Chain A
Amino acid sequence: MNCNRENLIEIAAGEQAAPEMLAHLRECSDCAQEVDSMRKTMALLDEWEAPEPSPYFFTRLQAHVREEQTKAPERASIFAWLRKPALALSLALMLVVGGVTYKILLPQIAPPDTGAAADLESLDRNADLLVNADNDLIDEMTGGPSDDVAEP
């Protein structure tokens, strides 16, 4: 069996190793020596102990969690989507594009000026003139009031 040195970690760490690896160790003094040295290095690392957690760890974490809980209903509010930049940006973009499109298309949507409206207006004016003329004629015949300005 060839020396597969990466497998030596398992043996040095006291983990379950393949039987053929263990058999190899009995025959290969280099690997056996490396395992021994690795084992000592790992034992050396045991000297590094971590400090005890501070007694305020839970209190602080609970405060953070409570903060998260109060944030949650805010997020669920009707305008929560406004806080999502992507959504707000999309909406703003839609409004801008909509406005520009409306501006561009407006002249095409409006009915073309054919002159018919002007004709109708002149007809209305003519009708008024005719009515006024009729009233004047009736007043003249009946001797009724006249709108004519009296000559000085």
Chain B
Amino acid sequence: MAADQVPFESLSDAEVMLRAGADDSAAYEYLVLKFHRPMIAFMYRMCRNQALAEELAQEVFLRVYRSRQTYAAEAKFTTWLYRIATNLAVNHARDHKVERSGKMVSLDEPDEETGTTLDVADQTLNAEQQILRRERLAAIKKQVMALPEKQRAAVLMHKYQGMDYGEIAGSLNLSESATKSLLFRAYEALRERLKEFV
């Protein structure tokens, strides 16, 4: 079988990215298709705004496209991808001075960006349980948002993106031991601040 016909699924993401660098548009589309959902989710949890999350995710994939010819597969593709994403999200937050910790989370009003309420009502829960659930969710969002940027990014990568210490360390430009320590402090803070809900 010719090298060109090898299905992308059988290649590493870094190898597919190298193909994209050789102007293989199908390779680029494959990567976008594979990573767009987790990337939007990551951005959403970083900035808590769906429209902005999609905008930032678009910018991440555009940067990937622009850098396709200079990409060197020195680290895992996800490490590189999330380094772009974290830098973008953190810079955006700094530029726009997002007041994370002071942001009030309304339990009843629809989310300002998504137009949805904090959570879709679960029909199996009674009214009181639904209120409690909403309160929990609001507290989770608020406390995750209140973490310092690097801690927040580390927790999101570890908890929701399923990345290991090495990948997180590479994305945040830290050593593995520093990452471990960062994650511990973040989880400790969340454990303390959310203890009434566990």
The answer to the question of A119 belonging to the interface, with a C-beta cut-off of 8 Å to chain B, is no
Contact with A along B139-150 (1 / 0, CB 8 A): 011001000000
Number of residues from B at the complex interface, CB < 8 A: 39
Instruction: Give Cα A13 to B183, complex, Å.
Output: 12
Instruction: Give Cα A61 to B65, complex, Å.
Output: 11
Instruction: Give Cα A53 to B54, complex, Å.
Output: 7
Q: Say whether A44 contacts B187, CB under 8 Å.
A: no
Instruction: Give Cα A58 to B57, complex, Å.
Output: 11
Instruction: Give Cα A107 to B81, complex, Å.
Output: 62
The answer to the question of B97 belonging to the interface, with a C-beta cut-off of 8 Å to chain A, is no
Q: Say whether A61 contacts B62, CB under 8 Å.
A: yes
Give the shortest distance, in Å, between A145 (CB) and chain B (any CB): 89
Give the shortest distance, in Å, between B35 (CB) and chain A (any CB): 11
Contact with A along B82-125 (1 / 0, CB 8 A): 00000000000000000000000000000000101000000000
Given the contacts A5-B184, A60-B58, A61-B62, A51 and B50 also touching, CB distance less than 8 Å: yes
Question: A41, A47, A65, A68: which contacts B187 (Cβ < 8 A)?
Answer: A41
Interface residues on A, range: 20 to 34
Instruction: Give Cα A37 to B191, complex, Å.
Output: 7
**What residues on A are CB-neighbors of B195 within 8 Å?**
37, 41
Q: Say whether A51 contacts B62, CB under 8 Å.
A: no
The answer to the question of A6 belonging to the interface, with a C-beta cut-off of 8 Å to chain B, is yes
**What residues on B are CB-neighbors of A79 within 8 Å?**
none
Q: Say whether B37 contacts A53, CB under 8 Å.
A: yes
Which B6-55 residues have a C-beta within 8 angstroms of A?
28, 32, 36-37, 40-41, 44-45, 50, 54
B interface residues, Cβ below 8 angstroms from A: 28, 32, 36-37, 40-41, 44-45, 50, 54, 57-58, 61-62, 65-66, 114, 116, 133, 136-137, 140-141, 144, 155, 158-160, 180-181, 183-184, 187, 190-191, 194-195, 197-198
A interface residues, Cβ below 8 angstroms from B: 5-9, 12-13, 37-38, 40-45, 47-48, 50-51, 53-54, 57-58, 60-61, 64-65, 68
12 pairs, A vs B, C-beta closer than 8 Å:
A6-B181, A7-B180, A41-B195, A44-B194, A45-B155, A48-B45, A50-B160, A54-B50, A58-B36, A60-B54, A61-B36, A68-B62
